[in-house]
Amino acid sequence: MDPSLEVYVGKLLRAAGLRLAVAESCTGGLISHRITNVPGSSSYFLGAVVAYDYSAKERLLSVRRATLEAYGAVSEETVLEMARGVCLALGADVGLSVSGIAGPGGGTPEKPVGLTWIGLHSPWGERAHKYVWLGDRLAVKEQSSEQALQVLVEFLESVVR
């Protein structure tokens, strides 16, 4: 993991005057861990919710049961609701979310192990990105956290410029 990525996220958030909240599922807090490794991150990082099962996603992040039943936890629709929900829950400007199948089990032909969705919600709109990572459980978590930070950087660069 490149620690400069989380440092750069902090610089961009400060420059834009934005506060971040994160909703994590398959990464289990890894994104938040990386962000809080940066001294002074409390000036732009409000906190995170690790919501692993359906009921936690519903109660803590306001993900609708109908969304989970229709699309599943690992879907564009769910990560967008997670990103919106964490903004609402923590009063953030920007919400970053991730949900995936880290494995080794749990995959299907339609949703294989390694499938990960990353969502972002902000006053400028929403976006979601789909990835399929290779490797073991830890590799999927690490790749997902790295890409989530990269998605955040790309968004913030578009806002700051």
Domain-located, residue 146: yes
Q: Report d(CA 23, CA 48) in Å as an integer.
A: 6
Mean pLDDT of 23-45: 97
Domain-located, residue 118: no
How many domains are contained in the chain?
A: 1
**Domain residue limits at 15:** 3-112+123-160
What CATH number corresponds to the domain at position 36?
Answer: 3.90.950.20
Three-class DSSP category at 2: coil
pLDDT, tens only, 82-126: 999 999 999 999 999 999 999 999 999 999 999 999 999 999 999
Domain-located, residue 76: yes
Three-class DSSP category at 22: strand
**24 bridge partner residues:** 50, 98
Model pTM score: 0.96
Domain-located, residue 129: yes
Q: What is the pLDDT of residue 147?
A: 98
List C-alpha distances in Å: 160 to 11, 58, 99, 156: 10, 33, 27, 6
DSSP letter at 42?
G
